Amino acid sequence: FTGKCWGSLNAKPVLCLHGYQDNAGTWDTLAPLLPHDISLLAVDLPGHGLSSHIPTGNAYHLLDFVLAIQRIVNHYGWKKISLMGHSFGSISGFVYSALYPEQVEHFIALDTIKRFNTDPARKLKNHGEILDKFLHLDSLDPKSSPSYIYEDAVEHLHKSMEKCTTKGGCEILSRRGTIKMTDGSYSFSRDARLKASVDLSYTWQYVLQFAANVKCKVLHIQALQGLTLEKPEEMDEFLDVLKKSAALYESHTVEGRHYVHLDFPERVAPIISDFLKQK
């Protein structure tokens, strides 16, 4: 693992989990706005940022990222933790909170909160194509990855994310999301095999059971122009279950897009600060 921290690791930090194909840089603008007595540890999850890729022949599964959280917890010997996640990092934190309900004190979910649910028939229909895509990506020579001058790498990333964040946000993500090659050009550091998500969804009943097992205090901050992956009626049912199981459920909606915490951190920092003060 690689990562970065704000504050002292002598104080138990909030473990910060970035989104899919992002990196720990996603917290660079938010972290300085939080109270100085709040310690943060942000990691690059496997295959992301500056962390190692998994060996050739292996695929990424959601539980690999949940395992990464537990490896960090075991390494530091923490008995209780608080988690803050954005997008896929929120989903990983949600699953961890359900699997280890007695270990989590606070769980902060930015924009996305619940595990994706997929109809089994639909999943079967598309899964073969996804596996073939993975096999193709797994066979590629990493040295053949395209490279750019740094400004073009940022522009390339922005073109794929312009509906979610600003170009300034993409530049921040590119600081850990690119590596400098021997010829002076830059290549994206994330594992190309992440483009083939072989196992990121469960059935609806499974998702509800996860929600029923979350016992910690939960803060959900939604962006008005954020991701809308769920049917409203399913989200309502999910939240009904979560509110009954969680020690506390607090929800806020703020103006912004999916990366509002990166683009406009001042809109979410006071909410997070107040929530973490709760004992």
How far is Cα 188 from Cα 191, in angstroms, rounded to an integer?
8
DSSP codes of every residue in 71-102: HHHHHHT-SSEEEEEETHHHHHHHHHHHHSTT
- Write down the catalytic residue from 87, 90, 92, 174: 87
Quote the CA–CA distance of 250 and 83 in Å, as a whole number: 15
Structure tokens at 109: 């979910």
How many other C-beta atoms can be found within 10 angstroms of the C-beta atom of residue 84?
27
Burial class (CB in 10 A: 0-12, 13-18, 19+), 143: exposed
Active site residue 87: yes
Which residues are catalytically annotated? 87
